[in-house]
Amino acid sequence: MMETPALPVPEARSPIPASLRGIFPVLVALPVLALFQWLLSESPFAVYLLSVMGVNIILAVSLNIVNGMTGQFSIGHAGFMAVGAYISGVLSLNLKEVALSFLPVAASDQVLFTVALLVGGLAAAACGFLVGLPSLRLRGDYLAIVTLGFGEIIRVVVQNTDAFGRALGLSGIPQYSSPYMVYFWVFLVVLVARRIAGSSHGRSLWAIREDEVAAEAMGVDTTGYKVRSFVISSFFAGIAGGLFAHFVPIINPGSFTFVKSMEIVVMVVLGGLGSTTGAIVAAIFLTLLPEGLRSLFNALGTEGTLAQKVDQIRMPIYGLMLVALMLSRPQGLFGMREIWDVLPRWIPRRRRGLS
C-alpha cells in the first residue's frame, strides 16, 4: 500500500490524460509519416532502400517478440513472410482490375492493398498458430528445427504451385506500396511490441524466457502465451511479406530462403534478444551495410558486377560480425534493455524495469 515518493508510478507524472494515452502515439505518427512521405517522394532509390529497411525492421521487431521476449528460438521467419507475400500478392494480382467505385482510384487501390495485406498477415498468423500449437511444447533446439522445416516446406510448396508462379515467381503485382504504408506498419509493430512488453502479458513472456517451470508454477499459461506470441509475430511477418511483394518487381521462392530467416535472426541477436529498439537499430544497420559496402567499393574503383560481389561477401561479413559480437557482447548491442536505458546520463531516461 505504500507509494514511494521517490519512485512514482510512471503513469502519475505523464502530462497526457489517461484516456488519450492509448491513441496518442497514433496522433503523433500520422503527420510525421505524411511529412516523411512528402520529403522523400523524389528519389526512387531512396524509396526502395527505405522500404526494404522498413520491411526488415518489421521482421526483426516481430521476431524479437518470439526469440527475444519469449525466449523461443524460431528460425523460420522467412516462411511466414513468404506466406504473407504470396497470399497478398496473388490477391492483389487478381483484384488489379477491380476498383471501388465510390472512391477515387488511388484511394481504392490503397484500400484493396490494405485488405490484401491483412489477408496475407492473417494467413501467416494462421500458419503460425498451426505450426506453433504442436511445436511450442518443444524446447530449444527442437523448436528451431521445426520452424526451420516449416520455412523450407513453404518455399518448396510455393516452388511447385502454379498459382504462385513456381520457381519463376510472381511478377506484375501492382506496386501499391509506399514508404508511408511501410512505416505505418513499422510504427504499428513497434507500438504493439512495446505495449506488450509493458503489460502483464509481456511480463508473462519475459517470465517464460527466464524460467518456464517457475512461470508455470506462478500461474502463467506457458503454452498459451508461447502460441500467442508466435501468432502475433507471424502476423507481422506476413504483413512484412505483403509490403515487400508490393514494391519489388518480382517475388520468387529465392527471396524467402533459410538465408533470409537467418538474416532476421542475426538482426535480433545483434540488437540484443528482447530489445525492440535494438532490433530496429540492427535492422537499419544490416540493411545499410551492403549499400555502404557498395559505395565503398565504388570509391575504391572496382567496377563491374558490384552488386553481385557485395552480395557474395555479405554472408561472410554477417558471420564475422556475429562472431565478433558474441565474443565482445554476448547479450547483443543493448541486451534486454531499450535504447533509452543505455543513452548517456544527461538524457532524461525512463525508470528501469519493464514498460
Applying CB under 8 A, which residues contact another protein?
1-4, 7, 9, 11, 18-19, 21-22, 191-192, 195-196, 198-204, 206-207, 210-211, 213-222, 224, 228, 336, 351-354
User: Residue 194 or residue 309: which is nearer to another protein going by CB?
Assistant: 194
| 201, 232 contact by CB (below 8 A) | no
User: Residue 199 or residue 305: which is nearer to another protein going by CB?
Assistant: 199
Q: How many CB atoms lie within 10 A of CB 159?
A: 16
User: Residue 183 or residue 206: which is nearer to another protein going by CB?
Assistant: 206
| 328, 277 contact by CB (below 8 A) | no
User: Residue 76 or residue 274: which is nearer to another protein going by CB?
Assistant: 274
In whole angstroms, how close is the CB of 114 to another protein at the nearest point? 19
In whole angstroms, how close is the CB of 11 to another protein at the nearest point? 6
| 267, 56 contact by CB (below 8 A) | yes
User: Residue 191 or residue 289: which is nearer to another protein going by CB?
Assistant: 191
In whole angstroms, how close is the CB of 288 to another protein at the nearest point? 30
In whole angstroms, how close is the CB of 226 to another protein at the nearest point? 12
Please measure the distance between the N-terminal and C-terminal CA atoms of the chain and give it in whole angstroms: 21
The identity of residue 233, as a single letter, is: S
CA distances from 162 to 159, 165, 167, 170, 177 (A): 8, 5, 9, 10, 25
Q: Where would I find the beta strands (DSSP E) of the chain? A: 170-171, 250-251
In whole angstroms, how close is the CB of 10 to another protein at the nearest point? 9
Rounded CA-CA distance 351/8 in Å is: 10
